[in-house]
Chain A
Amino acid sequence: DAGVIQSPRHEVTEMGQEVTLRCKPISGHDYLFWYRQTMMRGLELLIYFNNNVPIDDSGMPEDRFSAKMPNASFSTLKIQPSEPRDSAVYFCASSAGTGSYEQYFGPGTRLTVT
Chain B
Amino acid sequence: AQSVAQPEDQVNVAEGNPLTVKCTYSVSGNPYLFWYVQYPNRGLQFLLKYITGDNLVKGSYGFEAEFNKSQTSFHLKKPSALVSDSALYFCAVRDMANTGNQFYFGTGTSLTVIP
Contact = CB atoms under 8 A, between A and B. Distances in A.
Interface in B30-74: 32, 34, 36, 42-46, 49, 51
B102 A91 contact: no
Contact of A43 (B45, B46, B90, B94): B90
B44 to A, nearest CB: 4
A97 B92 CA distance: 16
Interface stretch (A63-71, A72-80, A98-106): A98-106
Contact of B34 (A33, A56, A102, A108): A102
B94 A55 contact: no
A108 B103 contact: no
For chain B, which range describes its interface: under 10, 10 to 19, 20 to 34, or 35 or more residues?
Answer: 20 to 34
B108 A43 contact: yes
B25 interface: no
B59 to A, nearest CB: 10
A86 B84 CA distance: 32
Contacts of A101: 32, 49, 51, 94, 96
B98 interface: no
Contacts of B103: 33, 45, 95, 103
Nearest to A103: B103
A56 B36 CA distance: 23
B107 interface: yes
B96 to A, nearest CB: 8
What 7 A-B pairs have minimum CB-CB distances, sorted nearest first?
A105-B43, A105-B44, A55-B100, A107-B43, A102-B46, A108-B43, A42-B107
Interface of A: 4, 31, 33, 42-43, 45, 48, 50, 55-56, 91, 93, 95, 97, 101-108
